[in-house]
Amino acid sequence: MDKEEQDKLEKIVRSSLSPVRLAQRAQIVLMASDGMRNQDIAKALGIGRVKVSRWRNRYAQSGLAGIERDLPRGAPPQKVDIKRLVDLTTQHKPAGATHWSTRKAAAELGVNASTISRHWRRLGLKPHLEQTFK
């Protein structure tokens, strides 16, 4: 680590305007650059070794940008073929039913029922109300 990078990290740690998470990550990197082991850093900061290892690795791979941002949380958004959904909803009937339910359409397309419901609302499709589906 060069002097300029070390100064940036120290500034982050000292600043009262830095987010706490970022300051902690910068502190991890600074302590590691002093030659401390992961378990010693974890003990000094009151965090887990895995967390220390994660931020050291991200810093090693991406530098300061690697510790400045978190990875996205939650599941990735589900992709649904809109054309197929519309075709299925308007042109076909499910076996043994008069119209598509969100659960049946979701099972057919391999997505969540909430995804089907969201797209139906956005597209204005109401298979349970349409006379042509019954």
Q: How far apart are CA 89 and CA 116, in angstroms?
A: 10
Count CB atoms within 10 A of the CB of residue 14: 10
Mean pLDDT of 3-15: 94
- pLDDT at res. 131: 52
| pLDDT one-digit tens code per residue, 43-63 | 999 999 999 999 999 999 999
Looking at CATH, the fold of the domain delimited by 3-68 is given as Arc Repressor Mutant, subunit A (1.10.10)
pTM of the model: 0.56
CA dist., res. 16 & res. 52, Å (int): 22
**Cα distances (Å, whole numbers) of residue 98 to 6, 94, 130, 132, 133:** 68, 7, 10, 10, 6
Query: What is the greatest pairwise CA distance in the chain?
Result: 73
Averaged pLDDT score across all residues of the chain: 89
- Report the pLDDT value the prediction gives residue 134, as an integer from 0 to 100: 42
- Of residues 104 and 132, more confidence is placed in 104
Q: What is the pLDDT of residues 70-85, one digit of tens each?
A: 877 777 777 888 999 9
Q: What is the pLDDT of residue 117?
A: 93
CA–CA dist 19, 12 (Å, integer): 9
65, 100 Cβ separation under 8 angstroms: no
The sign of the dihedral angle between the CA atoms of 104, 109, 112, 118 is: negative
| Region label for 55, one of left (φ > 0), alpha (ψ between -120 and 50) or beta (otherwise) | alpha
CB 22 within 8 A of CB 12: yes
List, as one string, the DSSP characters of 24-49.
HHHHHHHHHHTT--HHHHHHHHT--H
pLDDT at 7: 95
pLDDT, average across residues 111-132:
85
Convert the pLDDT of each residue in 16-33 to its tens digit.
Answer: 999 999 999 999 999 999
Q: How confident is the model at residue 130 (pLDDT cuts 50, 70, 90)?
A: low
